Structure 1
């Protein structure tokens, strides 16, 4: 059983928003005792070939919040995503709230600051975010207490956010038939990811888990909610009968076969800046394409 404080009696309301272009699920999670909410892993739309950014997904979240008279207190990034761009600053500009991420964002910024040849003007101290979370930190959404679990392995900054009887796991886990995310990005590690997953699976079996991505394995419909108990019993990578050594061997071999995510170049540049698009010396939005660097 987990050493983290968990209050299963608190049952927040969760509204999911699925983006088919990136297979990302964003969430609005509401404190059951107030109108306070957090937005988890929002998506900014990009037509990469045309260099065009739009906000249809974010506007859908904004309309939902405004239509239900909700109050955004937090905009949470579970990690620095490599497959979609965050809309957190856009939503913040419309609805307020503080943008939060794990404190190891500083490691990600240092690594990719070099990859993208960023100048010294790019701060590598996480100061683009309003809050940096450590393992075991807590914060409030209205009257609901949230606890953060540091779950590195996919990326160094991955965090799981536990809110009452729900937990938002980012890419630490997929649905049971999807297994787990890759661990071959800079700072990733299959052994560390296995240990992080065990931390999540130490939560109560009845804890509801919400995924950041789903790809509909074997043609099934897209899903994003499961439980700790279901993952422990049925997860194809870490469930019953799968050892740590088995996981490390499989994950390492599998990751060597995976292609680079198609949006990794714009995603990392934007997301390590808390969702802000970088600009050139004249203030124009611009994205770099490093050659032979990723």
Structure 2
């Protein structure tokens, strides 16, 4: 089936091209993101494929409908950038990749925790400059520490298992108390208890109206002094300005982010020769106890293969009139 892929990078093209040998769809890769200005490029196709920061609002969906688009295939788990109600009204189906590799994101979460704690990024730069001093590199044992996980889906459960392997006590909060999480050793509790008891708090919940700015001045005030805060889920779960206040007051002693509330104009692009005009983001970078990666937690060979396979199967199921097991409904 004719499908336009928006906002693609070299790795997208590599893994989708290889996987498509099994599916034989007619794919055209575009590097430009989907928005109101680029939506007309979908003309002549039945489906489009987009990523987390593409704009799929009501206006864009109306444009896509006019161009004959019947399917929006998300090559990601999140769908908060899609106006699902407008899509349904226009008869456009929306599918996603609900679980590609929970290990990829969970392991990146631990990479952020370990790097912030043991300051390996700072040690690496020191050693390359011939500086072998250890001042300022003191960390703490993860063993025996309490970690609070907000969101116990597949990624949260894998993260819990890894943390239990380190000897951590793992507290969890979710709207559902999953049996698999309990079997992994998670002790479910309420948010206030989790905030107060956790040395490390890691976010693994989807972005919804209820989780938007879940981490704010009030919730930060309930946390332990010197807490480590990690976010590999969605940027807008954190109120960034509130977190900056927490860093300045030293309430938050470590911050690890793979996502950022206003990442759409920054992440996935090389801006090294440009002036970054986001003052809030630049303020975050000024703290030596903040570690930011550019939404790369998903970026493993295993995850990219899984994303390509599930996305192309979603498109095939639509083309052949099968049930869309990964359809997202309003």
Q: TM-score, normalised by structure 2?
A: 0.27
Structure with more of its chain in helix, by fraction: 2
Q: TM-score, normalised by structure 1?
A: 0.29
* Structure with bigger gyration radius: 2
Structure with more of its chain in strand, by fraction: 1
